[in-house]
Amino acid sequence: MNTLSRRSFLATSALGACSAAAIEPMPRKGRANLQLSLAAYSMREFFTDGARPAAKPPPPDKAMDMFKFVDYCAEHGCDGSEVTSYYFPKDVTTDWLVQLRRHAFLRGVALSGTAIGNNFSHPKGEKRDREIALCKQWIDRAAVLGTSHIRVFAGQTREIPREEADKLVISALEECCDYAGSKGIFLGIENHDAIGSAEHLLKLIKPVKSRWLGVNLDSGNFHTENPYDDFARSVPYAVNVQIKTELRRAGANAAEPADLPKFMKLLRDGGYQGWVALEYEAKEDPFTAIPPVLKKLKELCALLG
């Protein structure tokens, strides 16, 4: 083997080894940098379009579409807007996506990410294939929107054991991350559905051989005795964070108020850099409850970011 060929071989081998490496904590340097966003799911009762419109027509002065949601984020001092896919038009077009991107830019709001409701836990077959195709379709749409993150789910199944389903989730993530990486898009798997602990979450993502996968870290979805510990363990792998105002511990009969300063400190201590999206799910009217929470989070981002 001549010198040039040998160098080429070694470079190619190193690249292959790098791309095949399992998930490690995100390689961040410097202090924490926290940017505030709001998830469209927070306003789920007021969207009139999409796959999951409001169950009953909202009052005209509160009715939402995605353009009005971006306006709401701008008016309440958010740096970003997380545009949940459930509330996009059913027959969304590329032109519509471009117009939303333009609208957000003119309002000075970044599209911090989008979110889909996929299920990668189906057994091999047509249903699972459709879920993978859905994810790839939204990767293409995220690229048009100019956002670099999509929230995905592992999903649930009663057809096969959880351990077998987890293996299928891992292979689906690898296939989708290969495609996402070609577009410069991160996939963040949320601690949701069957994933109620950091232990399960990290077991699911660590084997995935892709640098385009991380955790969509939801502060309200750990159902252990100490959700703050699970949150802290997951921070190094986070590519997006969703903050809720409540959490529910294992065995508890009801939710309890979340310690927002504590969650934000855990992000700082973990060196997180990126979006922190409020995802409001409590019972109080979002139009009343969300503004003061955003104000508090904005102060915490500035203080701890």
Determine the pLDDT at residue 304.
54
List b or e across 291-300, with b for residues whose CB sees 16 or more CB atoms inside 10 angstroms.
eebbeebbeb
pLDDT digits (tens, 9 = 90+) for 6-56: 434 333 333 333 345 678 899 999 999 999 999 999 999 999 988 888 888
Q: Which two tokens stand for residue 133?
A: 């195709």
Number of domains present in the structure of the chain: 1
Which tokens go with 56? 């009953």
CATH number, domain with residue 70? 3.20.20.150
Residue 117 inside a domain? The answer is yes
Is the predicted pLDDT of residue 247 greater than 50, yes or no?
yes
Of 35, 31, 32, 26, nearest to 278 by C-alpha is: 35
The single-letter code of the amino acid at 116 is: I
Per-residue confidence (pLDDT) for residue 223, from 0 to 100: 94
Percentage, residues of the chain above pLDDT 90:
86
Helix or strand run (H / E) with residue 137: helix 126-145
Which tokens hold the place of 238? 């986070």
Give the pLDDT mean for 190-206. 95
Across the chain, mean pLDDT equals 92
Rounded to an integer, the average pLDDT of 193-205 is 95
> CA separation (Å) from 185 to 38, 92, 98, 162, 242?
20, 20, 17, 28, 18
Q: Which domain holds residue 85?
A: 29-304
Q: 6 in a domain, yes or no?
A: no
pLDDT in tens, 265-291: 999 999 999 999 999 999 999 999 999
- Estimate to the nearest angstrom the gap between the alpha carbon of 161 and the chain centroid: 26
Rounded Cα distance, 179 and 202, in Å: 22
Residue 21 has a pLDDT of 61
State the pLDDT at residue 189. 98
**Does 54 or 237 have the greater pLDDT score?**
237
